[in-house]
Chain A
Amino acid sequence: MNLQQSKLKAVEDQRAATILNVQDVSISYGDNPAVKDVSFPIYKNHVTSIIGPSGCGKSTLLRSFNRMNDFISEVRIEGDLTYNGQDIYAKDVDPVEVRRQIGMVFQKPNPFPKSIYKNVSWGPEIHGYSDSIEELVERSLKQSALWDEVKDRLHESALSLSGGQQQRLCIARALAMEPDVLLMDEPCSALDPISTAHIEDLIFKLKSRYTIVIVTHSMQQAARISDYTAFLEMGDLIEFGVTDQIFTRPKNKRTEEYVTGRFG
């Protein structure tokens, strides 16, 4: 009984733990600021959604979490972005290592033009995964709820899959790296409602094992799947809080207007 209680306590502690911390982060493209002085935490094993109108900087902010902005020249980032207390942008941090632990799913499904199997196995292979890759591929495809649809055609081209399947394959590919955090950049924007429902179910299931940060255009989606919500507008963080509160009792008038659909 005592053991049980302490276990529960441990789980609760873990829940409260901040895995990614955004502190006074500003990002600019050349002279154009995209994100201004934003601070909020991302809690472990929870889904955090970032919402806001187009061009508010939400994707830019998300890409800074695994240093994908490094590939765009002229991007400058200031402030502190820490992952488990470690500054992601410190000089001695290898971005390759960051991306191994913080996976990403993109807006448009972008499977490699290779077989379904290879799409999932390639990531672990280049990192020298030593256990059975086949099991890992199966596990990852099961986690992304794609296994039943593709188990008989693993060696066919990934491009033969439908858009929704491709996106789940991209999720499986990210999961095969066994990341701590999964970043999703509008993962459903190119998908039909049924595929979107699939992915949302998936996110729901995945959060027990992963921390998920999702950028989304759809407020309904944010309300359905996320535990915490950050609302950005013109690069400013207007409000951050528990999703329920953001959608039912927003503290800020701008947030209220946005979530009730009066603008945006």
Chain B
Amino acid sequence: MNTATETNSSEAANKHLVRLEARHRKARLFSLFCATVTWMGATLLFVLLYQVCVQGYQWLDLQFLTSFPSRFPYKAGIKSALVGTLWLISMVAFISIPIGVATALYLEEFAKKGLISRVIELNIANLAGVPSIVYGIIGLAIFVRGMGLERSLLSGALTMSLLILPVIIIASREAIKTVPMSTRHAAFALGATRWQTAWAHVLPASFSGILTGVILALSRAIGETAPLIMIGGLTYVAFLPEGPMDAFTVLPIQIFNWVSRPQQEFHELAAGAIIVLLGVLLLMNATAIYIRYKAEKK
């Protein structure tokens, strides 16, 4: 009797060991799979970057940054496109961040959770998936024609803001949701209003998450071409915009323009412009990370 139970238990232990081995094998296999996928993505990105750099680096000089586009590759530069991009992205940030964050705050902190707020939420989620060219058509119909803003920076910035608003709203809402309910209750229990709670506690606590979303959204805006082509940004611009009502061009459009020419030199110029665009993007991200770091330290 006694020996029987002993064999039983040692058999069970054996079985358990075998199963454990299989479980470990599965875990190793899965982590290998994840690593492979990660490296595939990274390698692809690296190859792409390498190619662009090889093609474009010889054109990168001060002359390239400070010249207007030209028919002659050695004279051509990205001055108007770079300045246009900086104008556009600043205006987009100025328009879309307050509206986006305020909307997210309203939906999370103030709106009654009912049918209307659900319909709004669903629509915002859907809008995030709408192709950007459709926003271009909306921009053309409403801002350029309807409101008579012409092919100005303002039309472009408004169109781009529409495009990235859903992204900002969704990211901000997710960030706001991570603020624990207990923090809000602590504030309410002190006799704070919803607004005071949101402003003093919810917003600061979700700040870094919101910032991440905003940067993602602005990064998308800085690289978008289709909606701007739609509203008529694809033009030769040999002057710098001086105000929001001026015509403009941006880096992606300049790149698109150059790539569509047959000469090899222009393709290399395009690569140079891509490097600059990436540089601007990195700078934006670095600024955001710095701000976030500062905020978290406080």
Name the A residues within 8 Å of B180 (CB-CB). Answer: 110
Q: Is there contact, CB below 8 Å, between B193 and A68?
A: no
Is B201 close to A, CB under 8 A? yes
- Measured CB to CB, the closest approach of chain A to B66, in angstroms, equals 47
Q: Is there contact, CB below 8 Å, between B190 and A177?
A: yes
Q: Is there contact, CB below 8 Å, between B189 and A103?
A: yes
Query: A110 CA to B181 CA in the complex, in Å?
Result: 10
- Measured CB to CB, the closest approach of chain A to B118, in angstroms, equals 14
Name the B residues within 8 Å of A122 (CB-CB). Answer: 187, 190, 200
Query: A98 CA to B191 CA in the complex, in Å?
Result: 7
Is A112 close to B, CB under 8 A? yes
Query: A97 CA to B189 CA in the complex, in Å?
Result: 10
Is B205 close to A, CB under 8 A? yes
Q: Is there contact, CB below 8 Å, between B189 and A174?
A: yes
Known A73-B113, A122-B200, A126-B200; judge A110-B191 contact (CB<8 A).
no
Across the interface, A170 reaches (CB within 8 A) one of B113, B186, B200, namely B186
Name the A residues within 8 Å of B186 (CB-CB). Answer: 106, 110-112, 170, 173
Is B185 close to A, CB under 8 A? yes
Is B183 close to A, CB under 8 A? yes
Q: Size class of B's contact patch?
A: 10 to 19
Is A104 close to B, CB under 8 A? yes
Name the A residues within 8 Å of B50 (CB-CB). Answer: none
Known A71-B185, A106-B182, A106-B186; judge A112-B191 contact (CB<8 A).
no
Please encode chain B, from 195 to 220, with 1 for each CB lying within 8 Å of some chain A CB and 0 for all others: 01000110001000000000000000
Across the interface, B190 reaches (CB within 8 A) one of A71, A108, A113, A123, namely A123
Q: Is there contact, CB below 8 Å, between A174 and B190?
A: yes
Name the B residues within 8 Å of A104 (CB-CB). Answer: 189
Known A112-B201, A113-B205; judge A127-B191 contact (CB<8 A).
yes
Is B188 close to A, CB under 8 A? yes
Residue of A at shortest CB range from B197?
A: A126
Name the B residues within 8 Å of A112 (CB-CB). Answer: 183, 186-187, 201
Known A113-B205, A126-B196, A126-B200; judge A96-B191 contact (CB<8 A).
yes
Residue of A at shortest CB range from B205?
A: A113
Q: Size class of A's contact patch?
A: 20 to 34
Across the interface, B185 reaches (CB within 8 A) one of A97, A110, A111, namely A110
Name the B residues within 8 Å of A173 (CB-CB). Answer: 186, 190
- Measured CB to CB, the closest approach of chain B to A93, in angstroms, equals 13
Query: Which residues of B262-286 are within 8 A (CB) of A?
Result: none
Main secondary structure of the interface of B (DSSP, over half): helix
Name the A residues within 8 Å of B189 (CB-CB). Answer: 66, 68, 99, 103-104, 106, 174
Residue of A at shortest CB range from B193?
A: A96
Query: A68 CA to B182 CA in the complex, in Å?
Result: 12
Query: A106 CA to B189 CA in the complex, in Å?
Result: 9
- Measured CB to CB, the closest approach of chain A to B192, in angstroms, equals 6
Name the B residues within 8 Å of A207 (CB-CB). Answer: none
Query: Which residues of B170-190 are within 8 A (CB) of A?
Result: 180, 182-190
- Measured CB to CB, the closest approach of chain A to B176, in angstroms, equals 15
Q: Is there contact, CB below 8 Å, between B192 and A126?
A: yes
- Measured CB to CB, the closest approach of chain A to B108, in angstroms, equals 13
Q: Is there contact, CB below 8 Å, between A100 and B182?
A: no
Query: A126 CA to B184 CA in the complex, in Å?
Result: 15
- Measured CB to CB, the closest approach of chain B to A47, in angstroms, equals 19
Q: Is there contact, CB below 8 Å, between A177 and B191?
A: yes
Name the A residues within 8 Å of B182 (CB-CB). Answer: 106, 108, 110
Query: A98 CA to B190 CA in the complex, in Å?
Result: 10
- Measured CB to CB, the closest approach of chain A to B109, in angstroms, equals 11
Name the A residues within 8 Å of B193 (CB-CB). Answer: 96
Q: Is there contact, CB below 8 Å, between A99 and B188?
A: yes
Residue of A at shortest CB range from B179?
A: A113
Residue of A at shortest CB range from B186?
A: A110
Q: Is there contact, CB below 8 Å, between B191 and A123?
A: yes
- Measured CB to CB, the closest approach of chain B to A160, in angstroms, equals 14
Query: A170 CA to B200 CA in the complex, in Å?
Result: 17
Query: A177 CA to B184 CA in the complex, in Å?
Result: 17
Query: A173 CA to B188 CA in the complex, in Å?
Result: 12
Q: Is there contact, CB below 8 Å, between B185 and A126?
A: no
Q: Is there contact, CB below 8 Å, between A103 and B190?
A: yes
Q: Is there contact, CB below 8 Å, between B191 and A68?
A: no
- Measured CB to CB, the closest approach of chain B to A23, in angstroms, equals 24
- Measured CB to CB, the closest approach of chain A to B78, in angstroms, equals 44
10 pairs of residues in contact across A and B, judged by CB atoms under 8 Å? A68-B188, A68-B189, A71-B185, A73-B113, A98-B191, A99-B191, A106-B186, A110-B186, A174-B189, A177-B191
A positions within 8 Å CB-CB of B: 66, 68, 71, 73, 96-101, 103-104, 106, 108, 110-113, 122-123, 126-127, 170, 173-174, 177
**Sample of 20 further A-B pairs with CB below 8 A, known A73-B113, A99-B191:** A66-B189, A71-B188, A96-B193, A97-B191, A101-B191, A104-B189, A106-B185, A106-B186, A106-B189, A110-B183, A112-B201, A113-B205, A122-B187, A126-B190, A127-B191, A173-B190, A174-B189, A174-B190, A177-B190, A177-B191
B positions within 8 Å CB-CB of A: 113, 180, 182-193, 196, 200-201, 205
Q: 4 closest A-B pairs (Cβ-Cβ)? A: A100-B191, A123-B190, A110-B182, A104-B189
